A and B are shown apart, each in its own frame.
Chain A
Amino acid sequence: MQLNRRDFLKASAGVGGLVLLQPAVLAATNEFPNTSAPQSDIAMLVDASKCIGCWWCYAACKNYNKLPETIKPDPEQAPELSPDVWTTLHTTKRDGEWIFRKQACNHCTDAACVEVCPTGALSRNKLGFIQYDKDKCSGCGYCAEFCPFGVPQLDSNKLTGAAVMDKCTFCIERVTNDQQPACAEACPTGAIKFGRRSELLEEGKQRVAELNNISSKGYLYGENELGGLHVMYVLDDSPESYGLPAAPQVPPTSIVRNVFQWVGIGGLVAIVAGFGLNYIIAREAKITSELPGKEQMGRGKRNG
C-alpha cells in the first residue's frame, strides 16, 4: 500500500491524460529505489556460480508440496514453471557448458502481483515474502499477467475462465516453524542459502567481490531491484544470460489502473454532488414555471 500511495501521488500529477500520465508513472517506477525491505525480513540467496544442475531443489519442492513427480529433467528441455512446477532451473549454454539458475517467485518488495490482485489473495507475510490464500483466489490471472518475471501459474478453463493460482510459497509452513525452505535444505552445494535478508545481503556482496577478482561480471541481483528481492542471486555473468530481466519494474499499467480506481471513485462523488445541485435548481425552476401566468409551457421553452 505504501508504494500505492507514493506512485499514486506522483502519477496523479498527470491525470489529465494517459499521455501525460505515462512519463510520470515511468519516472516513479523506473529508478531503483534503495532497498526498502525491512531488516527483519527473511530471504534466500541463490549462488548461480555454485549450482551444478542436480535438480534436487526441483525434486524437493515437488516432494514437499505434493506435486506430481517427474524424472530428472534434461537441461535441453528444462521444465517451465507451471501449476505443477513451482521451482525449476533456468538453463543456458555458455562456452559449450550448461549454466543454471534456480527459478521461482522472487518475493519482491515492490510486488506487482500484490498490487493487482483484486481479492487480497496475494499478500506480504510480515517476514517479507509473498504469501497467498488459495481460498481467496478468484482465478483472474492478473498476477500472472503483471508479474515482471511471469511467475504465477494458472490452468484456466478456456471457456469459463475458472482457475486457481499457484506459485512458490516460500515454504511458509516450514519457515514459520524454524525450518528452512525445502529447496534450500535439499541443495547439496550450498547454492541456496536461507536466512535473514540483511545477513544474506552481506554474504552475497562478499561472494560477488570474490567473483569479481576472477572476472568482472559479478553482480548481486535483487539487492535493489523492485525494492529488493527476497530471493537474491549471485551471478557471474549478465542477468540476461541467466534469464533475468536487467531492469525489472512494476508495470506502469498497474499504477495506471490504480490511478483510475481513484479517478472512478472521485468521479462518483463529483457526479452525486452534481445531482444534488441540479435537483435543487431544477425543482426551483419547475415551481417558478408553474406559477400563475407561466404554467403554459410555451413552444419557446424546451428543456432537455
Chain B
Amino acid sequence: MGEPRVVERFKKRTIWFHWIHTAAFLVLIVTGAILFIPGLGSAAAGGLTRLIHRIAVVFFVGLPVVYFVFNPRMSLHFIKETLTWGKDDLDWAKVAPLYYFGGDEEKMPPQGHVNTGQKMWQFVVLGTGILFLVTGFVMWFFKGSVAPGIFQWCVVVHDIAFILAFLMLLVHIYLGIIHPRMTESLRSMWDGKISKKYASSHYGKWYDEISASEK
C-alpha cells in the first residue's frame, strides 16, 4: 500500500459500464435462478420476477450496444483481446493450479493487460452473452410459435449458460474482492488506477509496453 496509483487501467466510462451492467446481470441471475433452481420457484408466482427479468434484459443488451456505438475501437479491441490466445496463456494455464492451490507464484509468466484467467472470464461473458441472447430471444418472442422441441432446447442452453456465467462470476467476484493478493483490483474498478508496482507484478508485459510508449 501507500504506493502512488498513477497507471490508468480503466476509463471512467468503462467503469460506469461495468457497474451498471453488473447490476443488470445480478438482477438477471436472481430472477432467472428463481425459475431454474428447485425450491426458489414460488417466488415467481404471479409472474413479477419474469417481468423484471425482461426489464433487466433491456439494460443487459442495450448497454453493450450503446457502449459499442460510442467506443467502437475500444470495444473491438476488447473483443480482439478476448479472442487472442497464445503461448503465454498456455504457460499460465500450466502453472495456475500450482499457484492457486499450491501457493507457488514463482513460475507465473508475465501477463498482458489482462491475465489468462481474466481473459477466460471475458470469454465466458462474451460467449454466454451470445447464448443468452439467442435462446432468450426465442423464449421471449417465439414461445408458442416455434416447435416445442426448439423451445425446450433453448431453455436447456439458457440454463447451461446460466451455470457457466454464474459460477465464473463467483470466481470473478472472489478474485476481485476477496483474494488476498488482488490488492488493487477492486479500487481499479472504482477510480481506474493502479500503482506501478501492482502493474508490474500483475501485468508485466502490459506494464513494459506502456512504460516503453511513455518514453
Contact = CB atoms under 8 A, between A and B. Distances in A.
A254 interface: yes
Given A283-B180, A286-B181, A304-B111, A144 B144 contact: yes
Nearest to B152: A253
Interface of A: 117-121, 135-142, 144-146, 150, 154, 156, 158, 160-163, 251, 253-254, 256-257, 260-261, 263-265, 267-268, 271-272, 275, 277-279, 281-286, 288-289, 297, 299-304
A119 B44 contact: yes
Contacts of A277: 101
Given A118-B35, A289-B105, 13 more contacts: A118-B44, A137-B45, A140-B47, A141-B144, A160-B51, A161-B50, A254-B152, A261-B38, A272-B170, A279-B178, A281-B102, A302-B108, A304-B118
16 contacts: A118-B41, A118-B44, A136-B45, A137-B45, A138-B46, A161-B47, A251-B149, A264-B166, A267-B167, A278-B174, A282-B179, A285-B103, A286-B181, A289-B105, A302-B203, A304-B116
Contacts of A260: 156, 159-160, 163
A285 B179 CA distance: 12
B143 A145 contact: yes
Contacts of A163: 47
Given A142-B155, A260-B159, A156 B180 contact: no
Contacts of B197: 297
A265 B162 CA distance: 12
A264 B36 contact: yes
Contacts of B50: 138-140, 161-162
Interface string B40-63: 011011110111001000000000
A257 B155 contact: yes
A302 B148 contact: no
Contact of A120 (B34, B41, B167, B201): B41
B96 A304 contact: yes
A17 B116 CA distance: 25
B68 to A, nearest CB: 25
B92 A136 contact: no
Interface string B94-133: 0010011111111011110001111000000000000000
* Interface core residue of B49, B96, B148 (most chain A CB under 10 Å): B148
Nearest to B55: A160
Contacts of B35: 118, 138, 140
